């Protein structure tokens, strides 16, 4: 089921950025950062109006229009119809796509159910693929930029996160494969690999584990979502016009 909830100004000449996971966290901060850079924003997330009202308010404050679609990125028909309705209703060119929708479901491999493994792969890896596929179709005549949200867990797998680490390792490989595949169409594909970032995803972690992790970060603190969003904005705009196929760590030195 896909619903269009907040109607953007259709006559605007501003470029358009689609952001999945825009209702909260890094996706929301990316929406604001892109609006500050002059973009109107289309947000995909599972939550409807109430889940997106704060993003809408912040994007509007930053001077952008905001449209939200209720989409489960793991469901092929949802992603397809959201793109269809976005492109036909809007009629405007899509300049940038940021894939921030993601979940964790941590546990030790020895006791992890196959369903728990699959649920994370479905959103983080299959969902990323489904969105990228439709994005490439939408941008194949005009070019554009795609930015995927990876993680330091995809660079160096974490105990207790076999599903999440595998999904983000897959995102890294997907970034490189897609970049080579679509460079000739003028589409750049890059990823940002955040370390620990102050969002709901991080706040769900055990407090003791969180405090223990901070000791290993050279900058001695977790990232603010705005700090990750600035890297997203760099890779999603012409500021990075000669960069493709790269995975940019934003991790306070964790992987240095």
Ligand X SMILES: NC(=O)c1ccc[n+]([C@@H]2O[C@H](COP(=O)([O-])OP(=O)(O)OC[C@H]3O[C@@H](n4cnc5c(N)ncnc54)[C@H](OP(=O)(O)O)[C@@H]3O)[C@@H](O)[C@H]2O)c1
| Contacting positions for ligand X (CB under 6 A) | 20-21, 23-27, 44-47, 51, 71-74, 100-103, 123, 127, 149, 151, 194, 196-197, 199-202
The least CB distance from residue 242 to ligand X, in Å, is 25
Contact yes or no for 140/187 (Cβ under 8 A): yes
CA angle centred on 203, ends 202 and 206, rounded to 5°: 95
Q: What are the DSSP calls for 127-173, one per residue?
A: HHHHHHHHHHHHHTTT-EEEEEE--GGGTS--TTBHHHHHHHHHHHH
Shortest spacing between CB 11 and ligand X, in angstroms? 28
The beta strand positions in the chain, using DSSP E, are: 16-20, 40-45, 66-70, 94-99, 144-149, 187-194, 247-250
Task: Considering the complex, state which of residue 197 and residue 244 has its C-beta at the smaller distance from ligand X.
Answer: 197
CB of 248 to ligand X, least distance (A): 12
CA 66/CA 18 separation, integer angstroms: 10
Least Å from the CB of residue 172 to ligand X: 12
Q: Which is nearer to ligand X, 107 or 143 (CB)?
A: 107
Max CA distance (Å), the chain: 55
What is the signed CA dihedral for 7, 135, 18, 191, rounded to 10 degrees? Answer: 170
Of the two residues 8 and 26, which places its CB atom closer to ligand X in the complex? 26
Residue 93 or 133 having the CB closest to ligand X: 133
Residues designated as active site:
164
Listed residue (160, 161, 152) closest to 192, CA to CA: 152
């Amino acid at each position: 089921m896909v619903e269009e909830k907040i109607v953007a100004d259709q006559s605007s000449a501003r470029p358009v950025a689609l952001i999945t996971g825009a209702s909260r966290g890094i996706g929301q901060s990316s929406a604001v950062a892109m609006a500050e850079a002059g973009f109107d924003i289309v947000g995909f997330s599972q939550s409807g109006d109430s889940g997106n009202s704060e993003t809408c308010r912040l994007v509007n404050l930053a001077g952008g229009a905001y449209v939200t679609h209720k989409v489960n990125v793991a469901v092929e028909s949802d992603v397809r119809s959201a793109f269809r309705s976005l492109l036909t209703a809007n009629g405007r060119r899509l300049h940038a796509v940021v894939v921030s929708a993601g979940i964790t479901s941590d546990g030790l491999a020895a006791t992890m159910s196959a369903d728990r493994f699959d649920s994370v792969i479905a959103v983080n890896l299959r969902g990323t693929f489904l969105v990228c596929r439709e994005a490439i179709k939408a941008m194949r005549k005009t070019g554009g930029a795609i930015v995927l949200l990876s993680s330091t867990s995809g660079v160096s797998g974490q105990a207790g996160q076999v599903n999440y680490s595998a999904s983000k390792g897959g995102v890294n490989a997907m970034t490189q494969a897609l970049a080579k595949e679509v460079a000739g169409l003028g589409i750049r594909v890059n990823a940002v690999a955040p370390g620990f970032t102050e969002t709901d995803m991080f706040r769900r972690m055990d407090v003791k584990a969180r405090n223990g992790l901070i000791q290993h970060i050279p900058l001695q603190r977790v990232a603010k979502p705005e700090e990750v969003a600035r890297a997203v904005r760099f890779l999603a705009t012409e500021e990075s016009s000669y960069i493709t196929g790269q995975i940019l760590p934003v991790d306070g030195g964790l992987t240095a």
